[in-house]
Amino acid sequence: MTPTPRPHPRPTARLAARLVARLAGLAGLTAAAGALILAGAGTGGGAAWAAAATPTVTTISVAPTPGKAPNLTLSATVTGDTATPVDFYVTTTLFGNPQLVPLGPATPAKGVATLTWTPTWTGNETFTAAVANPATGKIVTKAAASYTVTAATPGMSTAQANTPKPLATFGRGMVGFLLAIVFAIWATLLATLWRVSRGVAKHATT
């Protein structure tokens, strides 16, 4: 008795089965990698914070940079994790509600993060040093201090203003060219008047 052959699976079904198997494999790999990361095998700082001490910004101080007025030196003292960069901010109300305008990051050295900043306006300002969770971007610790800025450099520095513009050379040439055209026009008009006066008077009888 000849066994009844099993029906051959249709190509579409075969393809779907393979796809499901591969997706399952991928999911397994992902799950494994996630487990490793959660176990601290990854490189994320957030994960590191799970095992080590969470950073804390204890103080921020502002002082003029010696010999480089009007620059200011912003210093933040950090405890706990000192590998994560500290972000410095200044508070502004220029565009509505108070908001932190980033001034730049600095990595702590021996527990102190330092940033040199050139103020562009004077007045009483609030400076903030903060550390954000690299995984979420949320600020986890910060400290603020007020400081009266007494000297500032305009946003557009003199050096910038004095830097020749890209088309400056062309512009100078253009001015000369235009002045030459204007001169030629005036010369032509005056020459025309002279030609008419002389010519008409000269040919009065011819």
Partner 1 sequence: MADVTQREQSGDGYGDGDGNGNGNGNGNGYSHGDGYGHGDGHGDGDGGLRALAMRPVLRPGRWWAPTVGVLALIVAWGVAAWVVQYHRGLGSAGYNDHAFWAIYIADVVTFIGVSYGGAVVSAILRLTGAEWRAPLTRIAEGTAVVTVLIGGAFIFPHLGRPERILELIYRPNLSSPIFWDFVAVSTYAFASMVFFYLPLIPDLADAADRVTAAGRPRLGRLYRLVSWRWRATPAQRRILSGSVGLVAIMIIPLAVSVHSVLSWAFALTSRPWWHESIWAPYFVVAALYSGIALVIVIVALFRKLYGLQALIGERHFVRLGFILAPFGAAYLYLTLADFLPGGYVGDHGVAAVFSSVLVGRYAIGFWLFVVGGCIAPLLVIAIPRLRHTRQIVAAAVLVDLALWLKRMIMVVAPANYGRISGLFGSYHFTWISVSVTLAGVAAIPLLLLLLFRVVPILSVAEIEELAHAEQQVHIPSPAVIPAPTPVGVNTRRQPSDLLGRPATFDIAPETP
Residue 206 near partner 1 by CB under 8 A: yes
Q: CA-to-CA distance for 98 and 93, rounded, in angstroms?
A: 5
Residue 171 near partner 1 by CB under 8 A: yes
> According to CB under 8 A, which one of 122, 150, 163, 192 is a site residue for partner 1?
192
Enumerate the β-bridge partners of residue 182: none
Q: How far is the CB of 201 from partner 1 (least distance, A)?
A: 5
Q: Which H or E run contains 93?
A: none
Exposed (0-12), middle (13-18) or buried (19+): which is 74, by Cβ within 10 Å?
buried
Based on CB atoms, which residue is closest to partner 1, 10 or 203? 203
Based on CB atoms, which residue is closest to partner 1, 122 or 192? 192
Residue 196 near partner 1 by CB under 8 A: yes
Contacts of 103 (CB under 8 A, 6+ apart): 74, 88, 89, 90, 115, 117, 127
Continuous H helices in the chain:
11-36, 45-51, 158-162, 168-202
Segment near partner 1 (CB under 8 A); pick from 48-56, 71-79, 143-151, 184-192? 184-192
What are the percentages of helix, strand and coil residues in the chain, rounded to 5?
40, 30, 35
Based on CB atoms, which residue is closest to partner 1, 39 or 185? 185
Residue 50 near partner 1 by CB under 8 A: no
Enumerate the β-bridge partners of residue 106: 86
Q: Which H or E run contains 100?
A: strand 99-106
Segment near partner 1 (CB under 8 A); pick from 4-12, 52-60, 106-114, 189-197? 189-197
Say which residue the tokens 């509600």 belong to: 97
Residue 180 near partner 1 by CB under 8 A: no
> According to CB under 8 A, which one of 31, 135, 178, 180 is a site residue for partner 1?
178
> According to CB under 8 A, which one of 52, 137, 175, 177 is a site residue for partner 1?
175
Q: How far is the CB of 179 from partner 1 (least distance, A)?
A: 8
* # binding residues, partner 1 (CB under 8 A): 20
Based on CB atoms, which residue is closest to partner 1, 15 or 187? 187
b/e for 4-26, b at 16 or more Cβ within 10 A? eeeeeeeeeeeeeeeeeeeeeee
Q: Which residues bind partner 1 (CB under 8 A)?
A: 171, 175, 178, 182, 185-186, 188-189, 192-193, 195-197, 199-201, 203-206
